[in-house]
Amino acid sequence: MKDGKNPDPNTIHPIAGYENEIYVKPTLTNPNIIVGDFTYIADREFESHVTHLYDWNGDHLIIGKFCQIASGVEFVMNGANHQMNAVTTFPFYTFEGWDMKPPEREDLPLKGDTVIGNDVWVSQNATILPGVHIGDGAIIGANATVTSDIPPYTVAAGNPARQIRTRFDDELIDLLERFKWWDKPIEEINALIPILTSGDVEMMRMEIRTRM
């Protein structure tokens, strides 16, 4: 408990007197966007950062818990894709006066749901393209364009985003993936903060092992 308050995933403004950082989940209106507890964005709202999300495509944006989304981040969904297996990519069917029926779903490059794991940091002005899966604990660099999947606890940057390095060794990544600290009760997470925020990797490894 800090300042006499417990963490509340259903509050919109988790920093008193500051409106440019919000918890996303309690602000959502689109049922095709699913966001976990305590994920925040450095903005006054979230849904304008999700573009081309149309019901008829059937795709979803799914983001886990405790993610950190910087300002200017954009999630581009499948509705942005044009037909690519024909001579022209021009979408005649979307405009008045043109004699074209909508293409069949199999003729569109639909890539499925976009899925962001837990405790993912997406840096300023990054763009996440349709169907991408980003694993737990990943870090996406500023201005990156993520066109393909990023494994858990991996740092990726660039356009297109490339894997720069893993944050930890394979054993510790496996421990963290099985430990799933983000799914634990608030009281337990509060008690884990000294471990989760320590730069002593070996201490963290040992402490997590004892709690498995």
- Collapse the DSSP code of 80 into the 3-class scheme (helix H, G, I; strand E, B; otherwise coil) and give the result: helix
**Structure tokens that stand for 5 in this block:** 């308050």
Active-site residue flag, 82: yes
Evaluate the omega torsion of the peptide bond into residue 160 and state whether it is cis, within 30 degrees of 0.
yes
Annotated catalytic residue, options 49, 60, 82, 133: 82
**Structure tokens that stand for 57 in this block:** 């495509």
Q: Are 156 and 162 in contact (CB under 8 A)?
A: yes
Specify burial of residue 74 (Cβ count, 10 A radius: 0-12, 13-18, 19+).
middle
CB environment 28-59: b (16+ within 10 A), e (fewer):
eeeebbebbbbbbbebeebeebbeebeeebeb
Known catalytic residues are 82
